[in-house]
Amino acid sequence: MDFITAVILGIVEGLTEFIPVSSTGHMILTAKVMGYNDQTSMMKTFEIVIQLGAILAIAIVYWRRILNLLGWSHSEPLSRQGAKVKRLNLLHVFLGIAPALVVAFFAKDFIKSLFSAQTVLYALVTGGIFMIFAEWYNKKRSRITSHELDDMTYKQALLIGLYQIISVLWPGFSRSGSTMSGGMLSGVSYKASADFSFLIAIPIMCAATGYELLESYQNFTSDVLGVFVAGFIISFIVAYFVVLAFMKLIQKIRLTHFAIYRFVLAAVFWLFIMR
């Protein structure tokens, strides 16, 4: 592990963690290109560290919403008649993350056995097709019932959580891709689905990285601390600006555009690197 590798992996993690292209898939493919073993204990610990940088970035972007969820903000939205209006709460978040956490806990060994470049390529293509279908279905059927995040129902939150299981069981499918697509298939708007996907990423990634840290904390030694810090900072900075840019351009960048990128990436790897 050196600073150049740390910077490259930090950039890859920051660029891909919250957009529907699969950060896990990109990390596996990057390992293939750079020729290092991403399954070593030290490398897995480093990947945890840069994921924490990405988590911090999304937490800062959504800090007001997080305070509201935790009840630390006393402002209550009111309707024109002065009555309190519904808004997203912790139960929505719980329903959005519980299915994936349960499956990940009981199937963790099976999931780890699926980590390979070939598995990722299949997932990139299949996930891309799923995203295109979700966007078509949402637009064709005009089934949007929740245009804003606060309009989301408990049923929609649970459905998104169930769709997220696909990405847990299939490395490379993309957590954000499955949740955004699941939201659109459940009647949630593209923007609200993206907001919810980013928001539930915080607890689910904290749970996953926390569990992994308990198993690999011994790798935090003084000789690699500088490299870990560099990767953390790079991942944080890149992820922060990627999320801001995505939310700003969300009406111009559709799921179909990400799907096309996934197809091209899978084709390039299959033709020029996997052969």
Average pLDDT over residues 29-49: 81
Give the side-chain half-sphere CA count within 13 A for 81: 3
Contact 208, 104 (CB under 8 A): yes
pTM (2 decimals)?
0.89
Contact 10, 231 (CB under 8 A): yes
CB neighbour list of residue 136: distance below 8 Å, 6 or more residues apart: none
Instruction: Quote the pLDDT of residue 243.
Output: 93
Contact 184, 194 (CB under 8 A): no
Poorest-pLDDT segment among 17-21, 45-49, 62-66, 236-240: 45-49
Contact 258, 127 (CB under 8 A): no
Q: Which of 12-16, 71-75, 207-211 holds the top average pLDDT?
A: 12-16
Instruction: Quote the pLDDT of residue 79.
Output: 46
Place of tokens 């309707």: 79
pLDDT digits (tens, 9 = 90+) for 45-94: 888 889 999 999 999 999 999 998 888 765 555 444 444 557 899 999 99
Instruction: Quote the pLDDT of residue 34.
Output: 85
Q: Is the confidence at residue 145, as pLDDT, over 90?
A: no
Q: Is the confidence at residue 180, as pLDDT, over 70?
A: yes
Alpha-carbon distance of 210 to 39, in angstroms, equals: 18
Instruction: Quote the pLDDT of residue 75.
Output: 55
Strands (E), the chain: none
